[in-house]
């Protein structure tokens, strides 16, 4: 977070007209609200839900929320990296679906191909995204839009134009990976948390992670400082593709088949979760922990709407959309308060 | 013909000129090439019925893409157009009791309201266009489904159905609307103060602000126009379908519209709007799909071809900035 600190110093130096103590207080509040806002809302929302619906706070229900959120968590972690560099990855939904179908298809030859093939192909798509963005200098929005179409085309080609649905053989160990539980929680949940923890460590404690923040903060400055901007960008999109593929594998393992229509619009859920989690779309700031809170918050909203019962899933998208708008508007004002303008 | 000296170019005429021509006329050349190819190799391509079908299919995309071109000209993007189409489709049958025109007016009003919300979030609150319109993309279709009770509604109002089947001067209504709108947008961009201001804001927003242009007003008007056009496309597509289907209508049309705009030579970085190019971009994608389908190329290949075309078009557009 070295980029952050320098920004504060510069901002505080520019505005001598406000009393220092008040400035520091406002700024501290804004920073805290931006960093931990998602967690606070998540806890508050869960508490309200637990009081309103007795069925909410049961272990079964909470485990259900966790496992349903696990795939989006993994995808959103990759999206967090991409967004912190100031980019965006619209292809994750398609890549996720492709990963699931490839895993189900390859599972007839055993678990190892079922895991490796999707990771290689999806990582390849991410690598391609990164190479085109970093070296041809095209806008991430449009490059990943193209690979959204490309990956879906590939998926259709693999599934005989969407007609074939590949099932994971009943005796395959892949199913255990998706459906097995430990202490009441599904394996995918542990995997998501493990991947998230690894990603957080990578982001906050490694040279690569610091370069990710620096590039998102100011790409030109990062290049002048001698950071390998192109290489870091390629790695970031590679990670996003790999994680989307891994999430697809887990989902196929859980469902026991490669469902071709899954993942449409998933990129939007992932972006929403990342943004709700306090990562700025302008890049340069954000955290994996916030993204986790964002994903869980979306999961809790969905669960509460299910609990209410007579509401349809369309109400859920209304609530999620409104929620997203409120969060980003608040965030914008908070970061303005931070800049003290 | 003594105009020859005009072709004098500085060093390196070959590549730079070629690229510039490709940028300016590439879309039209590609459309022309596809038309010629189909005329020669596709049976019944030049039949009136087929040409009508192609135009009717592409018209809603053109209408949405025109609004999108304006938004992209301001260095923004409007992801909510598909949801706004669904919203218009859901509102239309609610007010059919008052007659076809009032119902259509209410549907368009819904589009204007959606656009005003987007514009306010972008211009006044200062959100990034992607996020601001993403919120409505998620919520808009939900609202539409709630309004419609999640159901498909058959339409029986003869006037509304007429909008889907009638001709104006031998041209289907939806195509005529698209042509008129393209003319209006072209006029607005090139011949009105609003258009000049829009391009200036897209080119350099701080400079436009310092020059005293009404940045907020122009931005809001632009997003309102995008919402209005999307709602119009929603109404016409609903009339064509003879049913209001908010769960399916306009799905992923934002991607087609953005593709049409970008392929047509409008840069995503704003500051330039190419109206005719946008229309040609939409036609190109439509013709490409039709060609691939008529020659039994599977959908998978068609999608991958579309991906490659987007990338090539954007790559060519990129050269202009680094010139």
Q: Which of B132, B258, B314 sits opposite A138 (nearest CB)?
A: B314
Separation in Å, CA A274 to CA A212, A295, B317:
16, 8, 31
Classify the phi-psi angles of B47: left when phi > 0, otherwise alpha if psi is within -120 to 50, otherwise beta.
Answer: beta
| CB burial of residue B48 (10 Å; 0-12, 13-18, 19+) | exposed
What's the confidence (pLDDT) of residue B108? 94
Backbone angles phi, psi at A224, to 5 degrees: -65, -30
Distance between CA atoms of residues B62 and B85, nearest Å: 13
| CB burial of residue B185 (10 Å; 0-12, 13-18, 19+) | buried
Distance between CA atoms of residues B121 and A234, nearest Å: 32
User: Which residue in the block uniquely carries the two structure tokens 């799905």?
Assistant: B251
Separation in Å, CA B269 to CA A204, A304, B318:
32, 41, 10
Backbone angles phi, psi at A181, to 5 degrees: -130, 160
Contact B80, B140 (CB under 8 A): yes
Q: SS3 string of chain A?
A: CHHHHHHHHHHHHHCCCCCHHHHHHHHHHHHHHHHHHHHHHHHHHHHHHHHHCCCCCCHHHHHHHHHHHHHHHHHHHHHHHHHHCCCCCCCHHHHHHHHHHHHHHHHHHCHHHHHHHHHHHHHHHHHHHHHHHHHCCCCHHHHHHHHHHHHHHHHHHHCCCCCCCCECCCCCHHHHHHHCEECCEEHHHHHHHHHHHHHHHHHHHCHHHHHHHHHHHCHHHHHHCCCCHHHHHHHHHHHHHHHHHHHHHHHHHHHCECCCCCCCCHHHHHHHHHHHCCCCCCCCCCCHHHHHHHHHHHHHHHHHHHHHCCCCHHHHHHHHHHHHHHHHHHHHHHHHHHHCC
Q: Which of A318, A319, A335 to mutate to test the interface with B (most CBs of B within 10 A)?
A: A318
Q: How many CB pairs under 8 A join A and B?
A: 137
| CB burial of residue B36 (10 Å; 0-12, 13-18, 19+) | exposed
What's the confidence (pLDDT) of residue A20? 56
A141–B130 CB contact, under 8 Å: yes
Classify the phi-psi angles of B154: left when phi > 0, otherwise alpha if psi is within -120 to 50, otherwise beta.
Answer: beta
Token pair of B141 as six digits: 């279709």
pLDDT tens across B121-168, in order? 988 888 888 888 888 888 888 888 888 887 788 888 888 888 888 888
Distance between CA atoms of residues B164 and B159, nearest Å: 9
Closest residue, chain B, to A332 (C-alpha): B127
B/e letters for A197-218, b = 16+ CB within 10 Å, e = fewer, are eebbebbeeeebbbbbbbbbbb
The DSSP result for B234-256, as a single string, is HHHHHHHHTEE-TTTTTTTHHHH
B255–A148 CB contact, under 8 Å: yes
What's the confidence (pLDDT) of residue B139? 85
H and E: helices and strands count for chain B: 13, 4
- Stated pTM of the model: 0.80
B318–A324 CB contact, under 8 Å: no
From the CB of residue B250, how many other CB atoms can be counted at a distance below 10 Å? 31
Q: Give the single-character DSSP code of B98.
A: G
Q: Which of B77, B150, B315 sits opposite A314 (nearest CB)?
A: B150
pLDDT tens across B245-286, in order? 888 888 778 888 988 888 888 888 888 888 998 999 999 888
Give yes or no for residue B211 having a pLDDT over 90: no
The CA distance from B83 to the nearest CA of chain A, in Å, is 11
Contact B201, B218 (CB under 8 A): yes
What's the confidence (pLDDT) of residue A4? 43
Q: In B148-214, which residue ranges form alpha helices assigned H by DSSP?
A: 158-165, 173-191, 193-203, 205-210
Chain A, 252 to 311: residues with Cβ < 8 Å from chain B are: 268, 271-272, 275, 281-282
Contact B197, B214 (CB under 8 A): yes
What's the confidence (pLDDT) of residue B85? 93
C-alpha of B116 from chain center: 18
Chain B residues whose beta carbon lies within 8 Å of the beta carbon of residue A136: 315, 318
Chain A residues whose beta carbon lies within 8 Å of the beta carbon of residue B281: none
Average pLDDT, chain B: 84
Q: Which of A157, A286, A325, A339 to mutate to test the interface with B (most CBs of B within 10 A)?
A: A325
Interface of B with A (CB under 8 A): 77, 121, 125-128, 130-132, 134-146, 150, 255, 258-259, 262, 268-269, 298-304, 306-308, 310-311, 314-315, 318, 322
B128–A321 CB contact, under 8 Å: no
| CB burial of residue A112 (10 Å; 0-12, 13-18, 19+) | exposed
- If DSSP codes are grouped into helix, strand and coil, which group holds residue B96? helix
Contact B264, B69 (CB under 8 A): yes
From the CB of residue B183, how many other CB atoms can be counted at a distance below 10 Å? 11
Distance between CA atoms of residues B46 and B292, nearest Å: 16
A320–B139 CB contact, under 8 Å: yes
Q: Which of B134, B248, B281 to mutate to test the interface with A (most CBs of A within 10 A)?
A: B134
What's the confidence (pLDDT) of residue A13? 40
Distance between CA atoms of residues B86 and A217, nearest Å: 38
Separation in Å, CA A138 to CA A91, A315, B305, B314:
15, 37, 18, 7
The CA distance from A171 to the nearest CA of chain B, in Å, is 31
Q: Give the single-character DSSP code of B154.
A: E
Distance between CA atoms of residues B318 and B22, nearest Å: 12
Contact B133, B78 (CB under 8 A): yes
Backbone angles phi, psi at B243, to 5 degrees: -155, 150
A142–B268 CB contact, under 8 Å: yes
Taking only the tens of pLDDT, chain A with its 341 residues reads: 344 444 444 444 444 455 556 666 767 776 776 667 778 788 888 888 888 888 777 888 888 888 888 889 999 999 999 999 988 898 998 999 999 889 888 887 878 888 889 999 999 999 999 999 988 888 888 888 888 888 888 888 888 776 777 777 777 777 777 777 777 777 888 888 999 999 989 888 888 888 889 888 888 888 888 888 889 999 999 999 999 999 999 888 888 777 767 777 788 888 888 888 888 777 788 888 888 988 998 888 888 877 777 666 677 778 878 877 887 787 777 776 655 43
Picking from B130, B82, B115, B137, the residue whose alpha carbon sits closest to that of residue B255 is B82
pLDDT tens across B48-106, in order? 888 888 888 899 999 999 999 999 999 888 989 999 999 999 998 888 888 889 999 99
Assess: ipTM above 0.85. no
Distance between CA atoms of residues B62 and B226, nearest Å: 12
B137–A268 CB contact, under 8 Å: yes
pLDDT band (50, 70, 90) for residue B221: very high
Token pair of A314 as six digits: 């369309």
Q: Give the single-character DSSP code of B271.
A: S
């Amino acid at each position: 977070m070295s980029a952050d600190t320098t920004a504060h110093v510069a901002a505080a130096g520019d505005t001598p007209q406000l009393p220092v103590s008040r400035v520091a207080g406002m700024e501290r509040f804004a920073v805290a609200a931006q960093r931990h806002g998602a967690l606070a809302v998540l806890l508050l929302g869960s508490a309200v839900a637990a009081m309103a619906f007795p069925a909410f706070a049961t272990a079964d229900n909470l485990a259900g929320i966790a496992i349903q959120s696990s795939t989006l968590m993994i995808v959103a972690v990759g999206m967090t990296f991409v967004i912190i560099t100031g980019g965006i990855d619209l292809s994750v939904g398609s890549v996720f679906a492709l990963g699931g179908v490839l895993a189900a298809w390859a599972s007839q030859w055993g678990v190892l191909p079922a895991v490796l093939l999707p990771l290689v192909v999806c990582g390849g798509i991410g690598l391609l995204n990164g190479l085109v963005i970093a070296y041809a200098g095209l806008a991430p929005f449009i490059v990943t839009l193209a690979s959204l179409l490309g990956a879906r085309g590939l998926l259709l080609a693999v599934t005989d134009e969407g007609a074939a649905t590949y099932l994971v053989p009943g005796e395959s160990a892949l199913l255990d990976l998706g459906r097995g539980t430990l202490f009441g929680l599904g394996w995918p949940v542990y995997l998501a948390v493990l991947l998230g923890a690894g990603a957080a460590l990578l982001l906050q404690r490694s040279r690569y992670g610091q370069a990710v923040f620096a590039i998102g903060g100011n790409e030109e400055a990062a290049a002048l400082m001698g950071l390998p901007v192109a290489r870091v960008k390629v790695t970031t999109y590679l990670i996003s593709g790999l994680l989307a593929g891994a999430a697809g594998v887990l989902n196929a393992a859980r469902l026991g088949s490669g469902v071709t229509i899954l993942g449409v619009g998933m990129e939007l859920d992932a972006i929403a979760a990342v943004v709700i989690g306090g990562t700025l779309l302008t890049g340069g700031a954000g955290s994996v922990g916030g993204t986790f809170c964002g994903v869980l918050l979306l999961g809790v909203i969905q669960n509460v709407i299910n609990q209410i019962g007579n509401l349809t899933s369309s109400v859920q998208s209304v609530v999620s959309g409104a929620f997203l708008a409120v969060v980003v508007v608040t965030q914008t004002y908070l970061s303005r308060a931070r800049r003290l303008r | 013909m003594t105009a020859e000296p005009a072709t004098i170019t500085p060093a390196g005429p070959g590549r730079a000129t070629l690229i510039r021509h490709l940028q300016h006329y590439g879309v039209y050349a590609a459309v022309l090439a596809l038309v010629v190819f189909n005329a020669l190799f596709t049976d019944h391509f030049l039949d009136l019925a087929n040409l009508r079908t192609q135009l009717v299919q592409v018209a809603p995309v053109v209408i949405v893409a025109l609004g999108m071109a304006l938004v992209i000209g301001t260095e923004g993007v409007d992801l909510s157009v598909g949801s706004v189409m669904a919203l218009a489709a859901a509102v239309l049958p609610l007010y059919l009791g008052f007659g076809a025109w009032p119902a259509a007016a209410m549907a368009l009003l819904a589009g204007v309201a959606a656009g005003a919300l987007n514009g306010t979030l972008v211009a006044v609150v200062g959100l990034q266009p992607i996020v601001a319109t993403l919120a409505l993309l998620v919520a808009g279709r939900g609202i539409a489904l709630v309004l419609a009770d999640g159901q498909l509604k058959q339409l029986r109002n003869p006037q509304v159905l007429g909008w889907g089947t009638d001709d104006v001067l031998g041209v289907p209504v939806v195509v005529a609307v698209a042509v008129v709108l393209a003319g209006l947008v072209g006029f607005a961009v090139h011949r009105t103060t609003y258009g000049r201001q829009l391009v200036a804001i897209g080119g350099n927003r701080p400079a436009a602000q310092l020059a005293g242009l009404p940045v907020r007003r122009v931005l809001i008007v632009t997003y309102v126009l995008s919402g209005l056009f999307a709602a119009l496309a929603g109404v016409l597509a609903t009339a064509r379908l003879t049913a209001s289907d908010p769960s399916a209508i306009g799905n992923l049309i934002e991607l087609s519209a953005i593709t049409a705009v970008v392929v047509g030579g409008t840069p995503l970085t704003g500051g330039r709007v190419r109206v005719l190019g946008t229309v040609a971009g939409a036609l190109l994608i439509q013709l490409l799909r039709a060609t691939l389908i008529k020659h039994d190329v599977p959908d998978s290949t068609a999608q991958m071809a579309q991906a490659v075309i987007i990338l090539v078009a954007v790559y060519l557009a990129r050269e202009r900035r680094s010139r």
